[in-house]
Amino acid sequence: MADLVERVAQSQDREAFAELFDHYAPRLSAYLQRLGADPAVAEEVAQDAMVALWRKAGLFDRQKSSVGTWLYRIARNRRIDLMRRARGQTVDLEDAVSPIDDAPQPDAALDASEREGFVRRAMASLPPEQFNLVRLAFFEGRSHSEIAESEGLPLGTVKSRIRLAFSRLRRRLETDGLVDAN
């Protein structure tokens, strides 16, 4: 991925940017939603972070961080700026950057195991072509463009099948009570 950023920095390579966008934009949006951002705001901030990548690719230093870390930091900072402007107040940056406690809580392991079971069942209920695309995108970390090329599908087909798969997964997980229907 760092090579793609370098291509964007050196020659404003649109193909490299498209690959980066396909890979990171949905992940940034999901990350921001997990932080509590409204889906529309999350998408806007994710796109803003990707525009920052396009404009400031020359500032990326692969020795200091990975592309993902760099983009997630940009997105998080942009969200904090948005929150400040919207509320007219400051955000406690200690809360925003405090390290995550990865130590499992006593009942968290059981909850995680149950959730994993629900997700596995929901995934198994997907049609094979959707399951395969979700697996390639989120378990193998491949961009939509890479998937389209390797599977011999149009990029739009890949994107629509993944969106449809997520819609089905969400409905299934709502039915199982794992996610809110909001």
| Structural domains in the chain, sorted by start | 2-97 (1.10.1740.10), 108-175 (1.10.10.10)
pLDDT of residue 99: 44
Confidence of residue 18 (pLDDT cuts 50, 70, 90): confident
Render pLDDT for 62-110 as a digit per residue (tens, 0 to 9).
Answer: 888 888 888 888 888 888 877 777 766 544 444 444 444 444 444 545 4
pLDDT of residue 32: 85
- Cα separation of 32 and 25, whole Å? 11
pLDDT of residue 102: 45
* Residue 10: how many other CB atoms lie within 10 Å: 11
- Its pTM stands at 0.47
Name which of 19-33, 112-126, 168-182 the model is least confident about.
168-182
pLDDT of residue 137: 79
pLDDT of residue 100: 42
Render pLDDT for 103-157 as a digit per residue (tens, 0 to 9).
Answer: 444 454 545 666 677 777 878 888 888 888 888 877 777 788 888 999 999 999 9
Confidence of residue 165 (pLDDT cuts 50, 70, 90): confident
